[in-house]
């Protein structure tokens, strides 16, 4: 693959804290390698800003391997940028051309308040998980993976749902800022497995209630969440969670 360098114009959202109004700031970066990751490009900008005694751009990151879900950025109007099923840290600069203007923003959702610049507080997702995304059964010591027989179809679907990294792209992509794809993935991965059976009914009710309490919008089946999810989480999980919720609600009335 041919390597090349480019000069770029950046419009980056700068905001001191959640109470600050914030606004876009324009920067130019030069000599950016096409093989840099997007975060490495911002590192180059920040190194220059520090040398200029200017506050560097704050952004969230950790693993830089598409696993942790921290690198939440809106890039040119799309969560995580132009590449399909790719996190921001996996996005490379060859996705852009010399002279391009790149607009970078934080997630825009009331439930994800801006902490600083491109960093948002996604603790709402943590609280949803704490409300029911676990099993409390004492499982004892680790056992062999094949100790509990599970149908392959269910195992595959549970594994696919568990691939959700909780980045929040689904919320950022949805015009209603719905968290249904995230919550349904976490409900599905446990509802499909026997280990999640004991708390199956209370789990879905508690997680949906916490989701509503956090102020996320409702789902209207637009599908932007699935289209922009870096892990390709399926809308099928939302349908499954709706069934789980309906059954749990009916049984709770008995």
Sole residue written with tokens 């929040």: 168
Q: How much is the pTM?
A: 0.93
What is the spatial distance between Cα 99 and Cα 8, in angstroms, rounded to a whole number?
Answer: 5
C-alpha distances in angstroms, 101 versus 28, 85, 97, 161? Answer: 9, 22, 9, 35
Q: What is the pLDDT of residues 72-89, one digit of tens each?
A: 999 999 999 999 999 999
Same-domain check for residues 27 and 46: yes
Same-domain check for residues 25 and 50: yes
Q: What is the pLDDT of residues 140-158, one digit of tens each?
A: 676 666 677 889 999 999 9
Can you give the CATH number for the domain in which 211 is found?
Answer: 1.10.1060.10
Contacts of 227 (CB under 8 A, 6+ apart): 173
pLDDT at 143: 66
pLDDT at 214: 98
* Domains held by the chain: number: 2
pLDDT at 186: 97
Structural domain containing residue 245: 123-252
Same-domain check for residues 94 and 130: no
Same-domain check for residues 36 and 145: no
Q: What is the pLDDT of residues 11-62, one digit of tens each?
A: 999 999 999 999 999 999 999 999 999 999 999 999 999 999 999 999 999 9
Q: Helix H segments across the chain?
A: 38-51, 123-132, 152-162, 169-173, 180-191, 200-213, 224-228, 236-252
Q: From 95, 115, 135, give the residue that closes a domain.
A: 115
pLDDT at 2: 78
Q: What is the pLDDT of residues 126-143, one digit of tens each?
A: 999 999 998 877 666 766
For the chain, give the mean pLDDT: 94
pLDDT at 3: 87
Same-domain check for residues 176 and 61: no
Q: What is the pLDDT of residues 205-223, one digit of tens each?
A: 999 999 999 999 999 999 9
Same-domain check for residues 154 and 224: yes
């Amino acid at each position: 693959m041919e390597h090349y360098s480019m000069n770029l114009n950046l419009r980056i959202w700068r905001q001191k804290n959640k109470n600050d109004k914030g606004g876009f700031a324009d920067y130019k970066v030069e000599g950016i390698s096409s093989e840099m990751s997007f975060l490495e490009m911002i590192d180059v900008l920040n190194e220059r800003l520090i040398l200029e005694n200017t506050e560097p751009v704050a952004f969230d990151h950790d693993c830089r391997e598409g696993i942790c879900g921290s690198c939440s950025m809106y890039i040119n109007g799309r969560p995580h940028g132009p590449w399909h099923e790719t996190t921001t840290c996996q996005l490379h600069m060859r996705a852009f051309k010399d002279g391009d203007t790149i607009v970078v923003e934080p997630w825009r959702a009331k439930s994800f308040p801006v902490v600083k610049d491109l960093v948002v507080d996604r603790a709402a997702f943590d609280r949803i998980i704490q409300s029911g995304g676990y099993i409390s059964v004492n499982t004892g010591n680790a056992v062999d993976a094949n100790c509990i027989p599970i149908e392959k179809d269910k195992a595959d679907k549970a594994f696919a749902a568990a691939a959700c990294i909780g980045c929040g792209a689904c919320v950022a992509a949805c015009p209603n800022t719905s968290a249904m794809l995230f919550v349904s993935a976490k409900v599905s991965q446990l509802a499909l497995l026997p280990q999640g059976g004991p708390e199956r009914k209370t789990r879905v009710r508690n997680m949906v209630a916490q989701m509503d309490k956090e102020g996320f919008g409702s789902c209207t089946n637009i599908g932007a969440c699935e289209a922009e999810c870096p892990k390709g989480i399926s809308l099928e999980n939302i349908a499954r969670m709706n069934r789980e919720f309906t059954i749990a609600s009916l049984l709770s009335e008995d």
